[in-house]
Structure 1
Amino acid sequence: MLPSENFPPVIFLLGPTASGKSQIALDIAENFPVEIISVDSAQVYRYMDIGTAKPEPETLVRTPHHLINLIDPDQSYSAAKFRQDALKIMNEICQRNKIPLLVGGTMLYFRALQDGLSVLPPANKELRQGLEEMAKKVGWPVMHHKLSEIDKETAIRIKPTDSQRIQRALEVCYLTKQPMSSILQSRHQADFPFQVIRIALLPSDRSELHQRIAKRFETMLNRGLIDEVQLIRQQFPDLNIESPSMRCVGYRQACLYLDNVIDNKALLDMGIAATRQLAKRQLTWLRNMRTTDKLFEFDCLETNLTIKINNLLNSTIPAHLSLT
C-alpha cells in the first residue's frame, strides 16, 4: 500500500545483477528531474570500480550519483548507516523539487530504508574475543552447529564457514538470551514519508540472464579486475579474504587467485557461479517483496524497456515533475 499522495514521490529501481539497472537509471535521468542514489553495498568502497561495475567517471560527471565512493576498503558500512545517509539525501533532493531515484541490487538496504532495522545489541569486544578463541579450538563449522542448536532459523541462512555472521549471530543470542531470528521478526515499522514507485526488472528467461552474467564477469577480468584487487591489497595490507570489502562477489575470487589458491579457469568459473548465486538471492527477495509491496514489473530482456518505463513514470508521478 502506498503512503499518502501528499508525500513526495521516490522511485525504487530494483533487479538482479546484470538486469540493466544502471543504464535504465541513466535513461530515466535523461527524461525526468531525478537524482540517482546508489543502493549497492560494494559501490560504497573507493578504488573498487571494475568489480562493482561503477559508472564511468565521465558518466558520474554528467549524471552525479549519491552514496558512491564513501569509504576505503578497510572500513565498514552498514544497512543502518545507509538508511541514515539515504534519508538525509532524499530529503535534500525533494527540497530541490526533484525525485530521488534509488538504484541497486542490495535488497537489504532497500528493506532497511523503507521498514527500518531491528534493534540489535552493539558489538561486545570481550564476548567476540571469547567466541574467536573458541573457534580457534573447534573450528567455525562447530560454532555453526552450536548456533543451529539455539537459533536454527538463522543458522540455515549462514554457511558453516561464514565466520563473521556466525560470530555475530552467536553474540546476539548470548547478549539478548533469545534467537537473533526472533529479534529480526519484531522489526519496528519505521517512519518513511514518501510515495514509493517500485520498478522491478525481472528476466523472462533465466538462461539469458546467466549469459549476461558470464559476459559481465569476463569483461571485468579483461578490464583489469585482478590488477585492481592487487593494487587495493598493496594499499591496504591489513585486508584479507574475510574483510567485508573483499567478500564482495568477484573480489573474493580474485583474492583466491592472487593467493595461488585457484587458477585462471577456476577464477572465471567461480566468479560466474558466485554472481549467479547473488542474482538468485536478489530474485528471491523480489518475489517475497511482491507479497508486501506493489511492484511494477518489467522484463529486463526487452528491447523497448526504456520507453515502457518512461510511459509508466509519466502516468504515475505528479504532473509538475513529469518530463522536463
Structure 2
Amino acid sequence: MVRLSESQRASRPLVLLVGPTAVGKSEIGLRLAQALETDLLTADSRQVYRGMDIATDKPTPEQRQGVPHRLIDLVDPDESFNAGQYRRLARQEIERLYGEGRLPLIVGGTGLYVRTLIHGLCDAPRADHSYRESLLQEARAKGGYFLHRELTRVDPESAVRLHPHDEVKIVRALEVYHLSGQRLSDVQRQHRLAEQEFSVLLIGLNRDRAQLYRRIDERVESMFARGVVEETERLLADGYGRELGAMKGLGYQQVAGYLAGEYDRAEALRLLKRDTRHFAKRQLTWFRKEPGLRWYELTEQDRSEDVAGRLLEMIRSFVQDLAPRRPEGLPYPSLTMEQESTA
C-alpha cells in the first residue's frame, strides 16, 4: 500500500503504465492497483463507449469488483468524445484520489490521452466546422484515402502516426494547418516542452515483436470465441451504423464488413489480426517519442505478479524521492470549456 503524505501530495505524483495493445498492461496494472490500494484510471479512447466491450477488451465485471476502474463507459457510441473531455474527467478523478491520500494510477494505450493529461492541451486553433464539412464532402467525392494523402502532403509526420481510416484526427490535423499554417506535429512538439502539472513516472511495457504479434493473434481469436460478431450485430441493430467513429474501431470495422457480406469470417479474422499488429506498431512509435518514458521489456517467462512486484518497488522509490514543486495551497490553472472544445 502507498499512502501519500501532505508534502508528497503537494508534488502531485502521477504514475502511468502504457504500451501497445496485448502487451499485458491490463493484468499488470490491475495487480499494481491492488497493491497500491488505489483505483485504476483507464486511458483508452475505445473503452469510453458503452456497450462496446469485447473488441475493446474492456475489464470484466469480476475485475471491476476487485479494483474500481474509472473513465470507461462514459458515452454512447454515437456521442462525441475527445482528449479535452478525457483530461477534464481524469483530473477530477486524480484530485479525488489526492484528497484520499491515494496515488493515481493511469493504465492505457491511447497516446493522445496520456500526452494531453501530462502536458495539457496544445495551443491550437479552435474548430472550424464549415471547413471540416468541406473536407468531408471532398473526401466523399474523391475516395476514402483522399484525406490521408492530403495530410501526407502538408504534415507527413502526423500522416505516419495516423491510420488512413482515422478520419476525425486527420481532419483535425488538416484543420490546424489550414487555420494556422503550422503542422500539428510541430505544434504538439513545441507544446511538450511546456511545464508539466504533475510529477510523472511514465512506464512503458514492451515485448519482442514476434511474441507481441503472437499475443495479438491469440487475443483476436479469443474475441471471436467470446462473441465479437454477436456484439457487432447488436450494435448495428441498435442503430449504430458503420459510419460512426466508434464503429470504425478495431474489431467492429472488420466484423461489420463480414456481416455486410464483403468477405467471409476467416478473412475478417485475418484482417483484424493484421490491422491490430499495425495499430500496435503505431502505438510503439508514438510512445517512443514520449520524453522520460522508462521502458520495461517483458519476456515469455515473466509472470504478471512478478513484474508488478518489481514495478511496485520502482513506484515506491519514485514517491519517496518526491519534493514539493510549488507552495501548498497555490492552485494550478484550470482548463476552460473553450480550451477543452478544441482538443
TM-score range, shorter chain: 0.7 to 0.9
Is 2:203 the partner of 1:202? Answer: no
Q: CA deviation at 1:114?
A: 0.7
Counterpart position of 1:61: 65
Is 2:232 the partner of 1:233? Answer: no
Q: 1:178 and 1:30 mapped to 2: Cα distance?
A: 44
- State the one-letter code of the partner of 1:139: G
**What does residue range 237-248 of structure 1 map to in structure 2 within 5 Å?**
237-240=239-242, 242-248=243-249
**What does residue range 130-149 of structure 1 map to in structure 2 within 5 Å?**
130-149=134-153
Counterpart position of 1:322: none
Counterpart position of 2:220: 217
Q: 1:41 and 1:162 mapped to 2: Cα distance?
A: 12
Q: 1:198 and 1:159 mapped to 2: Cα distance?
A: 25
Counterpart position of 2:20: 16
1:105-143 deviations in whole A, cap 9, x for unaligned? 111111111112223333333323333333344335455
Secondary structure in structure 2 of the residue aligned to 1:198: strand
Counterpart position of 1:122: 126
Contact 1:116 1:189 in 2 (8 A): no
**What does residue range 256-275 of structure 1 map to in structure 2 within 5 Å?**
256-275=257-276
Note the residue ranges of structure 2 that are not aligned, 5 or more in a row.
1-6, 322-343
Q: 1:167 aligns with which of 160, 167, 171?
A: 171
Q: CA deviation at 1:251?
A: 1.4
TM-score (normalised: structure 1): 0.86
Contact 1:140 1:163 in 2 (8 A): no
Contact 2:118 2:197 in 1 (8 A): no
Q: CA deviation at 1:150?
A: 4.1
Counterpart position of 1:276: 277
Counterpart position of 2:44: 40
The 1:32/1:145 distance shift into structure 2, 3 A limit, reads: closer
Q: Which moved more, 1:130-139 or 1:253-262?
A: 130-139
Contact 2:204 2:293 in 1 (8 A): no
Counterpart position of 1:299: 298
- State the one-letter code of the partner of 1:284: T
Is 2:80 the partner of 1:81? Answer: no
Give the total of aligned pairs. 311
Contact 1:140 1:162 in 2 (8 A): no
- State the one-letter code of the partner of 1:265: A
Secondary structure in structure 1 of the residue aligned to 2:15: strand
Counterpart position of 2:100: 96
Cα RMSD of the aligned pairs, angstroms, is: 2.5
1:235-286 deviations in whole A, cap 9, x for unaligned? 1x2522x422112211111111111112111111111111111211222223
TM-score (normalised: structure 2): 0.81
The 1:33/1:172 distance shift into structure 2, 3 A limit, reads: same
Q: 1:25 and 1:147 mapped to 2: Cα distance?
A: 36
Q: CA deviation at 1:144?
A: 4.5
Counterpart position of 1:251: 252
Contact 2:258 2:264 in 1 (8 A): yes
Contact 1:19 1:201 in 2 (8 A): yes
Q: CA deviation at 1:165?
A: 4.2
The 1:281/1:300 distance shift into structure 2, 3 A limit, reads: farther
